[in-house]
Amino acid sequence: MPGPLGSVKKSEAMLRDADGYFLQSLADAADVGLIVLESNSVILLWNAWIEDASRIPRGRALGKPLDDVFDIATSVRLPMAIEQALTSGLSSYLSPRFNGHLFPLFRMNTAREQGEPMVQSVVVKPLENEAGDKLCLIQIFDGSQAADRERLLRRTRSELEERVASRTSELTTEISRRRDVEAELRDAMSMAETANAAKTQFLATVSHELRTPLNSIIGFSELMTLGTLGKIEPVEYQEYTNLTLNSAMHLLELVNDILDVSAIEVGGLQLVESSVDLNRLCVDCVARVQPLAEERGLLLSNGKGASLPTITGDRLRLEQVVSNLLTNAIKFTPSGGAVKLEKAVNSDGDILLAVVDSGVGLTETEIAAAFEPFRQIQRGSAGKHEGVGLGLSLSRTLTEAHDGTLTIESVKGEYTKAVMCLPASRVVAD
Amino acid sequence: MIELQDYLRDAICEVFNVAMGKAASSLSVMMSNPVGLNVPSVDILELDQVGDLLDELTGPNVCGVAQGFDGKFDGNIVLVFPETKSLELVRMLLADEVPLDVLSEMEQEALTEVGNVLLNACLGTIADILGERIKGEVPAFVQGARNSVLLNSSSEVGGKDYGMFVRIGFSIGDEDVTGYVVLVLKLSSMRHFVSMIDKFLTRLET
């Protein structure tokens, strides 16, 4: 077994061989390109990696100046780097960014025939041999994969940015479109509110102006009907006076409805609340419309139903609602039909007052329209019914003022049922 | 502590200005765009003081290029930028089409080469003037706290290192970036360096 001194000697012997076979095989084993130049730039070493990448065999490179083998005149950096290594002893780094394809080399991992150029980074270093001669070592690294990765990264980022920009632009357009629509809506709403306020004000003024002369007409036609100042002759005039009085009364009712609707719309509805006996109220309402029902040839009945409790509410307004529902039913039920007032208390204690008729019935659309003010459903022969369609809208508003609801259910050609529901909270405790 | 007399400070400043002139012409050709470099001031400080000064000028995180050298002098030479400025500088130099948030591998390599051109110009000029051969090592990209960047450049274990602190103004087109070159030497080397400059000046005068 050789001692330490023996192994040093052996190493030295091997290194001396480095001039020849050993040095070349070491260089060939390296995974980078290695070129060694003499001070006159003549190639002294050319390893297997560079043979492979350049496709220039060692025999054609060794002993020749580097610029005979490769055209390096176009490079700014390489001649300077070689010069600095040989004369000043400085090392240089040549990055792929500025010297990407410094040497005409081809990528190792692609098919030769494709001949894809290799992205390179190059290190140029000073060397010295035993005799002190200045040499230059050029190391070439394959940076192709790193360049591929970076290209991919940049492309992905660029695509991502494009997508974000495009989406942002879409959203900006969408937001701006929505803003426009909202502004249009606000304008339309404001115009509608202004128009509505003007209408309400107009109605209130006009109604008031109408009522004043109506009072005179009603007062004087009553006097004439009653014959207070003597009999009217000829006898036809008595009938005309009756007609005048009836028409004036109807007109007054209408004007009152209009006034109510206007007052409610400007927030002027005030309930005058007290204890209301609903059973009594039903009897009174039915009695009031009885003559009209008879005139139309209808059977009007105050259904037995439950006995209703006393509630807190505005008696006049509630009467107005029930009378209106009854009048409507009578107006829209053909002769020979029936109108019935039904009463009930549900499991929650809410009070239900329903007016059911055997009339022409309503579709869903007609029901919705019926609740709008100034709309009247033309049922049966067109235009034969009185009124401007304020009653139902007003009735619903008055019911809601009592925290209740007013709904209509109907089957076309069979029946219509209007239900006023007053909440249990309005019941006066015994 | 090494006190620099004004004429010496001016002379050293001039040495680096000559170096920057060489580097600027190489960089301009490399980038096909005129690059201006100038050296407004030079100071010699203890390495700790250089660190404090860098903190003031660059903030805690720096990045740059370091290159070791040996010969009659051995030490390190480091080009330092504030981390944020390094991105700006690379963008100015490379005019990259799709900038990333951090320096990519290729950008780091490009910055290393730019630093290498500049530092080799400094070392080459110093070697020329002093008539000494300086063996420069391969440059490395450095990034992090200024301490780690400078300490890695420290040449002497236990002893005090000195830094020649050189401000460098880069201008590319309309844009300007300030960087710093720190030449790290041990005290004896620094003294030798200054005295060699002094001798060089005397030679010029006679």
Asked whether the beta carbons of A350 and A335 are under 8 A apart, the reply is no
On whether residue A150 sits in a domain, the answer given is no
Same-domain pairing of A295 and A388: yes
Q: Which of A142, A159, A188 is the last residue of a domain?
A: A142
On whether residue A243 sits in a domain, the answer given is yes
Give the domains, in start order, of chain B with CATH numbers: 6-201 (3.40.1550.10)
Whether the CA torsion A324, A319, A285, A243 is positive or negative: it is negative
Residue A402: φ, ψ to 5°: -95, 20
pLDDT above 70 for B95: no
Query: Which residues contact residue A412 at a Cβ distance below 8 angstroms, ignoring those fewer than 6 apart?
Result: A360, A361, A362, A363
Q: Do the chains contact at B105 and A77, CB–CB below 8 Å?
A: no
Residue holding tokens 């005048």?
A244
**Rounded alpha-carbon distances, angstroms, from residue A350 to A104, A279, A317, A321, A342:** 98, 15, 19, 17, 14
Q: Which of B109, B117, B135 is the closest to A96 by Cβ?
A: B109
Touching check for A8 and chain B: CB below 8 Å?
A: no
Q: Do the chains contact at A91 and B136, CB–CB below 8 Å?
A: yes
Q: Which residue of B has its CA nearest to A157?
A: B98
CA separation for the pair A244, A105 (Å, rounded): 117
- For residue A13, how many other CB atoms are within 10 A of its CB? 10
Residue holding tokens 């590319």?
B172
Q: Check whether the bond before A234 is cis (ω within 30° of 0).
A: yes
Asked whether the beta carbons of B167 and B40 are under 8 A apart, the reply is yes
Q: Which of B71, B127, B139 is the closest to A93 by Cβ?
A: B139
Going by pLDDT thresholds of 50, 70 and 90, the confidence category of residue B100 is low
Q: Which of A77, A9, A19 is nearest to A45 (CA)?
A: A19
What is the number of domains present in chain A? 3
From first CA to last CA, the distance across chain B in angstroms is: 30
Same-domain pairing of A330 and A411: yes
The token duo for A359 is: 């009339």
On whether residue A13 sits in a domain, the answer given is no
Same-domain pairing of A341 and A287: yes
Q: Do the chains contact at A125 and B67, CB–CB below 8 Å?
A: no
Same-domain pairing of A229 and A287: no
Q: Do the chains contact at A98 and B136, CB–CB below 8 Å?
A: no
Asked whether the beta carbons of A96 and A121 are under 8 A apart, the reply is yes
- For residue A19, how many other CB atoms are within 10 A of its CB? 11
CA separation for the pair B130, A56 (Å, rounded): 42
Instruction: Give the CATH number, domain containing residue A137.
Output: 3.30.450.20
Touching check for B203 and chain A: CB below 8 Å?
A: no
Half-sphere exposure of B134 (CA within 13 A, CB side): 27
Average pLDDT, chain B: 81
On whether residue A194 sits in a domain, the answer given is yes
Residue B59: φ, ψ to 5°: 85, 175
Same-domain pairing of A88 and A194: no
CA separation for the pair A109, A121 (Å, rounded): 17
CA separation for the pair A51, A47 (Å, rounded): 6
Same-domain pairing of A280 and A401: yes
Residues of chain A contacting residue B31, judged by C-beta atoms under 8 Å apart: 98
CA separation for the pair B44, B161 (Å, rounded): 11
Same-domain pairing of A292 and A412: yes
On whether residue A26 sits in a domain, the answer given is no
CA separation for the pair B60, A396 (Å, rounded): 77
Angle between helices B105-130 and B83-94 (to 10 degrees): 90
**Per DSSP, which regions of A263-403 are E strands?**
274-277, 299-302, 310-313, 338-345, 351-357
Touching check for B71 and chain A: CB below 8 Å?
A: yes
Rg (CA), chain B: 16
CA separation for the pair B90, B102 (Å, rounded): 11
Q: Do the chains contact at B120 and A153, CB–CB below 8 Å?
A: no
Asked whether the beta carbons of A81 and A116 are under 8 A apart, the reply is no
- For residue B71, how many other CB atoms are within 10 A of its CB? 15
Same-domain pairing of A89 and A116: yes
Interface of B with A in 147-186 (CB under 8 A): none
Strands B75-82 and A43-46: unpaired
What residues make up the domain containing A246?
170-265
Q: Residue A379 has what pLDDT?
A: 45
Q: Which of A430, A113, A402 is nearest to A269 (CA)?
A: A402
Instruction: Give the CATH number, domain containing residue A181.
Output: 1.10.287
On whether residue A3 sits in a domain, the answer given is no
For testing contact with chain B, the best of A93, A139, A140 (most B CBs within 10 A): A93
On whether residue A164 sits in a domain, the answer given is no
Same-domain pairing of A241 and A301: no
Same-domain pairing of A176 and A246: yes
Strands B35-38 and B42-46: unpaired
Over the stretch B23-64, which tens digit does the pLDDT of each residue have?
Answer: 888 888 887 778 888 887 888 888 888 888 888 888 778 888
Touching check for B189 and chain A: CB below 8 Å?
A: no
Residue holding tokens 């709403």?
A189
On whether residue A128 sits in a domain, the answer given is yes
Q: Do the chains contact at B135 and A76, CB–CB below 8 Å?
A: no
Q: Which of A97, A125, A149 is the closest to B109 by Cβ?
A: A97
Helix/strand/coil (H/E/C) assignment for every residue in chain B: CCCCCHHHHHHHHHHHHHHHHHHHHHHHHHHCCCEEEECCCEEEEEHHHHHHHHHHHHCCEEEEEEEEEEECCCEEEEEEEEHHHHHHHHHHHHCCCCCCCCCCHHHHHHHHHHHHHHHHHHHHHHHHHHCCCEEECCCEEEEEEHHHHHHCCCCCCCCCEEEEEEEEEEEECCEEEEEEEEEEEEHHHHHHHHHHHHHHHHHHHC
Consecutive H or E run containing A142: strand A134-142
Touching check for A156 and chain B: CB below 8 Å?
A: no
Asked whether the beta carbons of A99 and A119 are under 8 A apart, the reply is no
Encode chain A (430 residues) as per-residue pLDDT tens digits: 444 455 555 555 554 555 567 888 889 999 999 999 998 889 999 999 999 888 899 999 999 999 888 887 778 789 989 999 998 899 999 988 887 678 888 887 665 556 788 888 899 999 988 888 899 999 999 888 888 888 888 888 889 989 999 999 999 999 999 999 999 999 999 999 888 888 777 777 777 788 888 888 999 888 888 888 888 888 888 888 888 888 888 788 778 877 777 777 666 678 889 999 999 999 989 988 898 899 889 999 888 777 889 999 999 899 989 999 998 899 889 889 999 999 999 999 999 999 999 988 888 888 888 887 665 545 443 344 454 467 888 899 899 989 999 999 998 888 999 999 999 999 987 6
CA separation for the pair B85, B54 (Å, rounded): 14
Residue A231: φ, ψ to 5°: -65, 145
Touching check for B125 and chain A: CB below 8 Å?
A: no
CA separation for the pair A368, A358 (Å, rounded): 20
Q: Residue B199 has what pLDDT?
A: 86
Single pTM value for the model: 0.57
Q: Which of A215, A245, A265 is the last residue of a domain?
A: A265
CA separation for the pair A150, A144 (Å, rounded): 10
Same-domain pairing of A327 and A403: yes
ipTM surpasses 0.95: no
Angstroms from B56 CA to nearest CA on chain A: 31
Q: Residue A249 has what pLDDT?
A: 84
Angstroms from A151 CA to nearest CA on chain B: 10
Residue A123: φ, ψ to 5°: -115, 130
CA separation for the pair A317, A399 (Å, rounded): 9
Q: Which of B98, B107, B135 is the closest to A126 by Cβ?
A: B135
Asked whether the beta carbons of A284 and A341 are under 8 A apart, the reply is no
Same-domain pairing of A309 and A215: no
Instruction: Give the CATH number, domain containing residue A307.
Output: 3.30.565.10
